Amino acid sequence: MSIALEAVDAKARPMTKEERKVIVASSLGTVFEWYDFYLFGSLAVIIGTNFFSQFPEGTRNIFALLAFAAGFLVRPFGALVFGRLGDLVGRKYTFLVTILIMGASTFVVGILPTSDTIGIAAPIILIILRMLQGLALGGEYGGAATYVAEHAPNGRRGFYTSFIQVTATAGLFLSLLVILFTRLAVGDAEFAAWGWRIPFLLSILLLGISVWIRLQMEESPAFQRMKAAGTESKAPLGEAFGQWKNAKIALFALLGLVMGQAVVWYTGQFYVLFFLGAVLKVDTFTQNMLVAWSLLLGSGGFVFFGWLSDKIGRKPIILGGCLLAAVTYFPLFHLLSKEANPDLARAHATIEVRVVTDPALCSFQFNPTGTSRFTQPCDIAKAALARASVNYTVEAAPAGTAATIRIANGTPITVAGNATFAADLNRQLTTAGYPAASNASVVKMSGPFDIFREQPAVLIGILTLMVIYVTMVYGPIAAALVELFPTRIRYTSMSLPYHIGNGWFGGLMPATAFAMIAQTGDVYYGLWYPVVIALATVVIGLFFVPETYKRDLFADERR
């Protein structure tokens, strides 16, 4: 492949045909891999129903979220395995391995019997498949970013790699569209029964396309030159993380760039889906269409901010996005509530609900194994209120006091031994002013283009602003990470901080935020998770992460 290997002025020439081919080939394969990975998250509720049906509803939801997070938890291990492979034998070979693992695992989910058929084996196999997906994705991103960056001229790496950054959002967008059209084609009832399998089964077609695309790719020119010169690392893991001079750069990259990028990304693309559905009671079609429109309108920011980072630097844009998100998330989510479900937002602000009990009798309802049973009256009360999206506080009572719920000035509702507890709770909530889940004020879209009314238009505007934050932190991140490390250990070094940040800090966000809400009774309390982490990244990144946008990637062996 004829690619210039010397440093060049970004303004000296346009993108060549071969460079366009590299970007298109890398991006398309990565889009399909993200599509496979995101299907699970987009269908988490249905998957919970089919594969964790032996557990109570509250436990089932947490278990489904944690199964989703399992794929993120193993991503750093995939980064180590495939990062080492990529630095030893090449980027192209690693691409082929990761896409085969991802595609095969996703297809098997589509044919896997549910827990009603094979019992506990179903969730066990599902989690194993999810972990295989995580391992594959752990090797995918670093390879794609490294491959494209090593083809890009100095001064244009932010722009070139920004197309890789689009792939994660494009994969999510593609998964949402396939789910929506499948649901429309078969109907909601049939989709819940068996139609949810169709998007997973379609992955076999995408796998074939992806493998064909990657077979057309040639090895990175920087890697070829390194191999020809005999300067490759014999032990990439040891050199990358066993030597403090390299390990500290990876540590600061994690804490001062990727950690904040991850929580902003997952808040703007995943947590907002959870919030719209589970908290604000927006129907699945409408919430997916709102997010899909925001992704469509905002995704150009990936390329824009990647291009801008070539002009003014990576840090100002990434840290600026983290700061903007941290200071505006609370007002934006409050505005989201007022627009998406005005009656519920009004109830949150005006109706006092208290759980009066001995705090020692309450559990922290975070269930990482999915096997715990929360049977104390306090836990039952809090779970019921959380399911109804009620804001509540816990009022301490003398030791041994049985839990009661007090709604405004209504009669206290006892929990223990109350056969009519659910009916009593629903009646008093309705009397006090809490709306039913199907109340007329909830936003509801009649079709994909029902966006020219005030309610969906404002919501799409709010969500698009959050997507712009995502593009600010994510558009330049690949270039920033690539430039921090030399070619001989680049794949390994950049992959680990990226996947710890996104796999752990980002991937655990839904389950952690859900538990924080259940513990406090405040539907907005989970937002403290991304806010605190994003602010920490701003401080660490400002003082400890170097600016790299003027670095000569082709001279890195001299460093």
What residue has token string 């004020």?
A: 441
The span from the CA of 353 to the CA of 362, in Å, is 17
Torsion sign over Cα 211, 213, 216, 220? negative
The span from the CA of 424 to the CA of 404, in Å, is 12
The DSSP letter of residue 399 is T
Residue 337 contacts residue 281 (beta carbons within 8 Å): no
Nearest to 553 by CA among 10, 2, 84, 132: 10
Residue 5: what pLDDT? 38
Determine if residue 313 is left, alpha or beta; phi over 0 gives left, psi from -120 to 50 gives alpha, anything else beta.
Answer: left
The span from the CA of 336 to the CA of 108, in Å, is 37
Residue 142 contacts residue 95 (beta carbons within 8 Å): no
Residues with Cβ within 8 Å of residue 257, at least 6 apart in sequence: 318, 477, 480, 481, 497, 501, 537, 541, 545
502 three-state secondary structure? helix
> pLDDT tens string for the chain (559 positions)?
333 334 444 454 566 777 777 787 777 777 877 787 678 767 877 887 788 766 655 556 666 666 766 777 787 888 788 877 777 776 777 878 888 888 888 899 899 998 888 888 888 888 888 888 888 887 777 777 887 887 788 888 899 889 888 887 788 788 888 988 898 899 888 998 899 999 999 888 888 887 887 777 776 666 667 767 666 666 677 776 778 888 898 899 999 999 999 999 989 988 898 889 888 989 888 988 898 899 889 989 999 999 999 999 999 999 999 999 999 999 999 999 999 999 999 999 899 999 888 887 776 555 444 444 566 788 888 878 887 888 998 888 888 888 899 998 888 898 888 888 889 998 999 989 898 767 888 999 988 899 999 999 999 999 999 999 999 999 999 899 989 888 778 878 888 888 888 877 887 777 777 778 877 888 899 899 999 999 999 999 999 999 998 887 766 544 4
Residue 255 contacts residue 474 (beta carbons within 8 Å): no
Q: What pTM did the predictor assign?
A: 0.82
